[in-house]
Structure 1
Amino acid sequence: MSENIMGSCLCGKVKYEIKNKFERFFLCHCAQCRKITGSAHASNLFGDPEGFNWTAGEKIVKRFDYPNRGFTNAFCGECGSGVPYLNQSSTAIVVPAGSLDTEPKFTSSSRIFHVERAEWDKLADTAEIFSSFPHE
């Protein structure tokens, strides 16, 4: 049996625990995921719904079900951070990787809808790297 790991939103009002065993980890570059995250891609892990439990703030979670491609956005109603949700087919808990407070264990990872990758995201392949804000 896998140990549980914890996750939370930025303000800490929404908290959860889940078994640290994920079947898939998708970096999705589709246009909808870029809009939902405001970033280059969504980073979502897929876990077993039976291994998930809200520990705080479930009542303030907001959910938006996107009508195309059958996906969802769930977020803290206070700070707007992405939080886990049950997918529309009720077969998996989708966990935004950035909401985890611990490193996850997963068995496979893929970049999906890569053909839709934003041109500006390709700059990340050669961008200068800093450990914090660059000093001017």
Structure 2
Amino acid sequence: MRVEGGCYCGKVRYEAEGEPMMAAQCHCRECQYITGGGPNMFVAMPIGGFKYTASEPKQFTRKDLSRAVTREFCPECGTHLATKAPGLPAAILKVGTFDDPKLFNPQVAIYTCDKQAYHHVPDGMPAFEKLPAH
């Protein structure tokens, strides 16, 4: 799979290539902050096939958490583009930043322990309170 995308204002652009490691909706409380309240739609792509092609994002990592993720976003318009988790060889890309969001085909809902009543998990989609066991 090859994905190209970028932020709302167009300043930061990226491309990612490889076999998706996960295509999901995440309902965790942390993602709700980033999305404005809804689940986070994402595709985890291999880090080796990911690169920024125009400009560089700003990064934020919470200092008060062990194993905190690093969130990458446009310094101009604030669009959240990617998340990188310690020890995970992936770029977790936000589907809304894809040039063609129709490429997204969610396979699973994760962290439903934090799911809000107004979040929708499609009928028949596997759902997990945390991460699925491999």
1:99 aligned onto 2:82? no
**Deviation at residue 101 of structure 1 after TM alignment:** 0.4
Number of aligned residue pairs: 119
Amino acid at match of 1:37: T
SS at match of 1:80: coil
Q: Which structure 1 segments of 5+ residues have no match? A: 126-136
Deviation, 1:121, is: 3.0
3-state secondary structure, aligned to 2:30: helix
Identity among equivalent positions (%) equals 28
The residue type paired with residue 64 of structure 1 is F
1:42-81 to 2 correspondences below 5 Å: 42-58=40-56, 61-66=57-62, 67=65, 70-81=68-79
Give, in whole Å, the separation in 2 of the partners of 1:53 and 1:73: 15
Matched position secondary structure for 1:54: strand
Map of 1:5 onto structure 2? 3
| TM-score, normalising length: structure 1 | 0.74
Larger radius of gyration: 1
Secondary structure at 1:115 match in 2:
helix
Structural RMSD (CA)? 2.5
- Residues 43/15 of structure 1: CA separation in 2 closer, same or farther (3 Å cut): same
SS of equivalent residue, structure 1 residue 35: helix
Whether the 8 Å contact between 1:22 and 1:105 is mirrored in structure 2 is no
Q: Is the 8 A contact 1:36 1:73 kept in 2?
A: no
Runs of at least 5 residues in structure 2 that lack an aligned partner in the other structure: 123-134
TM-score, normalised to structure 2's length?
0.75
Separation in 2, partners of 1:27, 1:69: 21
* Structure 1 residue 64: Cα displacement: 1.6
Of Structure 1 and Structure 2, the greater helix share is in 1
